[in-house]
Amino acid sequence: MKNLNDITKNNAFKVPENYFDTFAAELEARISEENLKKQFGNRNFFSVPENYFKNFTVQMNPKKGKIIQLIKPWLSAAAGIIIIFALWQFLLTDIINTNKQAQNHDSLQTNNSTVIANNTLSIDDIDIKYLDPEINAYIDEADANTIYEYTDDSEQETVTNTDDETIYEYYIDYADDNDITELLADL
Amino acid sequence: MNSAVRVNTIDKHLTNKELSEAFNLIVEEYKERLYWHIRKIVLIHEDADDVLQNTFIKVWRYLEKFKQDSKIYTWLFRIATNEAITFINNKKKKSEDSFENYEETLSNSLESDEYFEGDKAQLILQKAILTLPEKQRIVFNMKYFNETKYEEMSEILDTSVGALKASYHHAVKKIENFVKQY
């Protein structure tokens, strides 16, 4: 193609059949529509119940929605019951523990008073229920020296010779004034 | 009723403020000429139909305010041209939003348009016209296809005759350069 003259000027476009014959009627309809819009605007005169669109999805899924709707009140009630039960459990445990501690304290006081009154302390004076089962087993099997070893970590010493001289040396090394006074009174 | 009689009757109705009668005759007399003017700008029939209806709705709305100082023909074509430009600009904006080129999309859709029956050369010509700036495209279409007089075009487009002549000259040069490639 060299220039514009090579191209025909004929109208290359066409319109649908009867387009111009029906145009006036279509335009009239469009004008009526425009007049209505002008008169009433595009305002929506209708309203929907509150939260309608929010709940719409749930309503559209009846299976899921139904189950949720059914258990919804029970879920709240169950949550309330669980909270009350947990609180009650916590308070009850606390009360029981306090009582137990008080009882244990009384028991210890009684035992200690007995020991102090009799001035005797033997393995039988220790209430077995206050001891760890392992310690308990250990006590059953161990001799006096081993127990001494077990109960006094800071100043471990195995007593092998229990004659008076040894006891005397021990007192000199470890005993306080009261112990020495008591020992002298015994002598 | 022939065209000349119809135009005189329109003027009489407008003078007598018989707007409804005037409007019906205006639609009857100018629908085809306005359609082809619009169609050359927007190219697709559906778009041309939309723009033509919008044009007549504007005419209906403002007919009461029309002063008979200018010809009804000039006033109608000015409204139609402005409506077509507004339509194109809206389409361009939508195309830009979706990262498309409006002219390119239009050029492609023309090839598959059932209401376009031009040959290969005419399709190339339409593609060449699409490369022109908006105003040049309108000037070229009005002068080349409709052979509208520059004086009439000047009234419709509110541009001087000299500027229109220059615009048309540039448009022809650009189109010839484009079609030489094929």
DSSP for A39-85, written as a single string: HHTT-------TTHHHHHHHHHSHHHHHHHHHHHHHHHHHHHHHHHH
Give pTM, 2 decimals: 0.61
- The closest CB to that of A30, out of B53, B117, B126, belongs to B53
pLDDT given at position B88? 93
Rounded-to-integer distance, Cα B3 and Cα A162, Å:
147
Which residues of chain B make contact with A1, given a CB cutoff of 8 A? 121, 124, 179-180, 182
Mean pLDDT, all residues of chain B: 92
- The closest CB to that of B57, out of A6, A11, A31, belongs to A31
CA trace torsion B174, B177, B181, B182 (10° rounding): 70
Which pLDDT tens digit goes with each residue over B36-62? 999 999 999 999 999 999 999 999 999
Res. B128: pLDDT tops 90:
yes
Res. A176: pLDDT tops 70:
yes
Res. A107: pLDDT tops 80:
no
State how far residue A43 is from chain B, nearest Cα, in angstroms.
Answer: 21
**Average pLDDT rounded to a whole number, residues A27-52:** 84
Q: Which residue has the higher pLDDT, A41 or B64?
A: B64
pLDDT given at position A1? 62
Does A12 sit within 8 Å of B32, measured CB to CB?
Answer: no
**Closest by CA position to A24, among listed B41, B4, B26:** B26
Q: How many CB atoms lie within 10 A of CB A31?
A: 17
B144 touches chain A (CB under 8 A): yes
Res. A127: pLDDT tops 80:
no
pLDDT given at position A39? 79
DSSP A175: -
Interface test with A, best of B19, B23, B31 (most A CBs within 10 A): B31
Which residues of chain A make contact with B53, given a CB cutoff of 8 A? 26-27, 30
State how far residue A42 is from chain B, nearest Cα, in angstroms.
Answer: 18
Lowest mean pLDDT among A158-162, B70-74, B146-150: A158-162
Res. B163: pLDDT tops 90:
yes
Looking up tokens 């707007």 gives B19
Mean pLDDT, all residues of chain A: 74
Does A30 sit within 8 Å of B57, measured CB to CB?
Answer: yes
B56 touches chain A (CB under 8 A): yes
In chain A, how many H helices and how many E strands?
7, 0
- The closest CB to that of B116, out of A3, A13, A31, belongs to A13
Rounded-to-integer distance, Cα A145 and Cα A181, Å:
25
Percent share of chain B, pLDDT over 90: 70
Percent share of chain B, pLDDT over 70: 100
Res. A136: pLDDT tops 70:
no
Report for A58-67, A89-98, B14-23: range of highest mean pLDDT:
B14-23
B179 touches chain A (CB under 8 A): yes
Write down how long chain A is: 187
Looking up tokens 């005993």 gives A175
Contacts of A150 (CB under 8 A, 6+ apart): A138, A142
pLDDT given at position B68? 81
Please give the backbone phi and psi of residue B165, each rounded to the nearest 5 degrees, phi first.
-60, -45
Q: Which residue has the higher pLDDT, B99 or B28?
A: B28
Does A15 sit within 8 Å of B31, measured CB to CB?
Answer: no
B172 touches chain A (CB under 8 A): yes
Q: How many CB atoms lie within 10 A of CB A59?
A: 11
pLDDT given at position A111? 60
Rounded-to-integer distance, Cα B138 and Cα A30, Å:
27
Q: Euclidean distance between the first and final Cα of chain A, in Å?
A: 143
pLDDT given at position A125? 56
Rounded-to-integer distance, Cα B99 and Cα B86, Å:
20
Q: Which residue has the higher pLDDT, A162 or B122?
A: B122
Which residues of chain B make contact with A16, given a CB cutoff of 8 A? 45, 115
pLDDT given at position A126? 55
- The closest CB to that of A13, out of B39, B49, B144, belongs to B39
Contacts of A86 (CB under 8 A, 6+ apart): none
pLDDT given at position A149? 61
Which residues of chain B make contact with A8, given a CB cutoff of 8 A? 119, 121-122
**Average pLDDT rounded to a whole number, residues B83-102:** 88
**Average pLDDT rounded to a whole number, residues A12-29:** 93
Does B56 sit within 8 Å of A27, measured CB to CB?
Answer: yes
